[in-house]
Amino acid sequence: MHSFGKRIALLAHYRFLIYNLVVRDLKARYRNSVLGFLWSLLNPLGMMLVFTIISPLLFRDHAIVNYPVFLLSGILPWNFFSASIMTGTNSVVANGHLIKKVYFPTEVLPIATILANLINFLLALLVLFALIFIFGIQLSPWIWLLPVVILIQTTFTLGLVFFLSTLQVYYHDTLLIMDVIMLAWFFLTPVFYSASMLPVAYEAFGVTLEVQRLMYILNPMASLINMYRDLLYWGYRTDIDFFLRTSITALFVLVSGYWFFVRYSSNFSEEV
């Protein structure tokens, strides 16, 4: 097993392989498609239309105007996260034939999958910025932090995918379990609703739970979406507490996930 530093150097050596895998993923996704990349916008735009219609019936937050922008600033990061988790979890198993034929650092597979989804996310952001312009929403003066927030989310997602793709090699039920978890995670994250609608505190069995605070502490995606909305919708400076805590969490998840991946990757060719 190579040391951590040597693994990173090895990844740099195989950077063109990562590039080719990303291109292959993007081409395969839109092969024989009439609309090409535009299909990837239909899901968030469809969800935006549905939630815009039904949101007044389900809930009403008078602080939220221009709901389509509010929703897209949450649904686009979530779709990037969800698609990366679901495709990344199976990235090693799906490419088992490559692992058995030729040597290369297997971590390029989840990395390439995440980067392909990142490109889709960045292109979809163009639609969000168009809506921001149409609705006349004032961007935050701290909008320059947006690439940093995207980097934090990518770091967090990649760390999870390293961990999950390793589990998928040994336990093929991992992907099915994550399908259920991601559905629950979606509703537990303020994607289509505002976190301010949740009670500040809730008492259960004599214990007072700080609901909003716990959501941000236990759910990094809640903090990330809050940061996106601060910059793209509310026009605020992103909360430094969210920023630092989520950055540290993302880095920890990446390092521990990568260590876990490298620890068991030597047996991948025998297991896939």
Is residue 93 within 8 A of residue 178, CB to CB? The reply is no
Backbone angles phi, psi at 204, to 5 degrees: -140, 125
Two tokens at 122? Answer: 């960045």
Residue-number span of the structural domain to which 55 is assigned: 4-271
pTM reported for the whole predicted model: 0.90
| Per-residue model confidence as pLDDT tens digits over 137-171 | 888 888 999 999 999 999 999 999 999 999 999 99
- Number of domains comprising the chain: 1
Q: Cα dihedral sign for 70, 76, 79, 85?
A: negative
- Selection from 206, 222, 106, 215 nearest residue 166 by Cα: 106
Beta strand residue intervals within the chain, DSSP E = 202-204, 207-209
d(CA 55, CA 228): 21
pLDDT at 57: 64
| Per-residue model confidence as pLDDT tens digits over 83-130 | 999 999 999 999 988 888 888 899 999 999 999 999 999 988 988 998
